[in-house]
Amino acid sequence: MFNYGYFSFASKADLLKKAAEFWNPGKVQFWTEAGTPMVIDRREGYFLYDMSGKRLIDLHLNGGTYNFGHRHPELVEVMKAGLDYFDMGNHWFPSVARAAFSEKLVKSAPHMKYAIFGAGGAEAVEIALKTARYATKRRKIVSIIKGYHGHSGLSVATGDERFSKIFLADRPDEFVHVPFNDADALEAVLKKGDVAAFIVETIPATYGFPMPKEGYLKTCQDLCHKYGARFIADEVQTGLMRTGVMWGWQGYGLTPDIFVCGKGLGGGLYPISACLTTAECGGWLIEDGAAHISTSGGAELGCLIGHHVMEMLERPEVISNVHFVAEFFAKGMAEMMARHSDIFVGVRQRGVVLGLEFDHPEGAVAVSRALYENGVWAIFSSLDKRVLQFKPGVVLDVDLCQEILDRFDAAMPRARQLLKGMRRAA
């Protein structure tokens, strides 16, 4: 019996049945068939516990949402302290938490002027795209093929058509897609002089973290400026120290006109996202401050947590830990690749953002399953299933990192077996 006080379920099977009935039959079916039928029950640190009691080390982190692990004690303390004083607040008015948090964010990116809040990544992207349109008085938005910026009205149109067509939300006349790592293709579009912005994830997560070619992002930024467009960095997965620096663009020598962050900004406890903009783009905040409204965007509890997340990420001990974790997996994965070169063929890495390539079009699905069976949860890249997203948290300790590597190694024979089966079926 799973009695949660507010609701209860007789068993995991009972839960799955109800979830399929009332919530989302497609997702329930998908994970069951994938062999990773996880229903997260308890969660603590970098551990997840399935309803069956099985423990999993979380290397998915929901894209960095659990950068600090689950229910980090210090963040929980902040959240509880916040609940003794704040609530969501009233988005109409200035507030202490919003003022303090926006200042903290802007100070982390000194060429920026304002921070505008949303509740989720897609909303921040929405604000970014609207801001660019305001600044340029142009409509067209360019993004990369297989880019991912969320599923709201404008953001979903920047992404893969799998997610837009089904809702008739694709808008080919206003949203143009160009190949990643191809600056010429971008220039060909920009040249027409009607582009408001080029939006790109600093390292495209859902596409399996392909690394930008040397100079590619800087060239894109320069091209945007050359043709009067704005350069938007989507830092939802690459921000918050995940690439070894606070914001991914810092590591590439960029100065985006606008950038967005979300996920881990709320410490995994309270949803909050932000769009940072230069003074030049953010003019609408003076012209009509209420032009964009969001009741839950910038909720004060979220601002309090976000403020503390930023503070924690700025601590020298945390920064040093990120580097240790990054270094460990750089060396560890090189070794793993040498040992399992028949299936494990490539590592893409920057900081604690890793994409592991396997030699099969759906290789990462099999590896994800093999890892799951060995107590590790890491997800494949939705838009490139050869690549496993491998996302260690920023405060992982040495023993757990070693355990992850040991479990990874132990999972490879099983992955090999699953892949063999897939090849035979094919």
Partner 1 sequence: MSAHEAMDAPRLKVPDRALSRARMKVNRAAWAARYYRNFSRPAVLRIAEAIARAGEEKAAHFAEMAVEETGFGVVEHKAIKNRACTHELLDFYRDLDLVTPRVDPARKMVELPKPAGVVFAIAPATNPVATVYYKAMLAVLSRNAIVMSPHPAARHVSVAAAEHLARAAEAAGAPSGLIQCVEEPSIPLVQDIMASDRINVIIATGGTAMVRAAYSSGNPALGVGPGNALAYVDPSAKVDAAARCLVESKSFDNSILCTNESVCLTLESNRGNMERALRSAGAHICKQADTDRLRDYLFTDHGFNVAAIGKSAAWIAERAGIRVSPSVKVLVPVVEKPGQDDLLFREKLCPVLTLTAAVDFRQALTFAKHTARRGAGHSAAFHGQDRARLLAFSQEMPVYRVVVNVPCSQGAAGFGTYLPPSFTIGTGFAGRSSVGENVGPQHLVHWTRIAYARDAAEDLSDLDPAAIATVTDAGAPVPTGILPEEAPPVPAAAAERPEISRELLRQLILEELRSLRRGDE
Ligand X SMILES: Cc1ncc(COP(=O)(O)O)c(C=O)c1O
**Closest to ligand X by CB, 109 or 275:** 275
Residue 414, interface with partner 1 (CB under 8 A)?
Answer: yes
Choose among ligand X, partner 1, none what residue 18 binds, the Cβ cut-off being 5 to 8 Å by kind.
none
Residue 151, interface with partner 1 (CB under 8 A)?
Answer: no
Bridge partners of 392, per DSSP, are none
Closest distance to ligand X from the beta carbon of 320 (Å): 26
Q: What does the alpha-carbon distance between residue 243 and residue 249 come to, in Å, rounded to a whole number?
A: 9
Please count the residues of the chain. 426
Residue by residue, DSSP assigns 83-139 as HTT--S--TTS--HHHHHHHHHHHHHSTT--EEEEESSHHHHHHHHHHHHHHHH---
Choose among ligand X, partner 1, none what residue 30 binds, the Cβ cut-off being 5 to 8 Å by kind.
none
Residue 276, interface with partner 1 (CB under 8 A)?
Answer: no
Let me know if 251 is exposed, middle or buried by CB neighbors in 10 A (0-12, 13-18, 19+): middle
Site map (CB under 6 A) of ligand X, residues 225-254, x = contact: ---------x-xx-----------------
Q: What are 398's two structure tokens?
A: 């040495």
Site map (CB under 8 A) of partner 1, residues 280-309, x = contact: ------------------------x-----
- Three-state secondary structure of 192-238: CCCEEEEEEECCCCCCCCCCCCCCHHHHHHHHHHHCCCEEEEECCCC
Residues 6+ apart with CB under 8 A from 20: 28, 29
Residue 351, interface with ligand X (CB under 6 A)?
Answer: no
**Closest to ligand X by CB, 236 or 400:** 236
Interactions with partner 1, residue window 81-110 (CB under 8 A)? 81-82, 84-85
**Closest to ligand X by CB, 306 or 332:** 306
Within 10 angstroms of residue 370's Cβ, the number of other Cβ atoms is: 23
Residues 6+ apart with CB under 8 A from 99: none
Total residues contacting partner 1 by CB under 8 A comes to 46
Closest distance to ligand X from the beta carbon of 324 (Å): 25
Which chain residues interact with partner 1 by CB under 8 A?
54-55, 74, 77-78, 80-82, 84-85, 304, 311-312, 315, 317-318, 320-321, 323-324, 327-328, 331-332, 335, 339-340, 370, 373-375, 395, 397-399, 402-403, 405-407, 409-414
Which chain residues interact with ligand X by CB under 6 A?
63, 120-122, 125, 148-150, 201, 205-206, 234, 236-237, 262
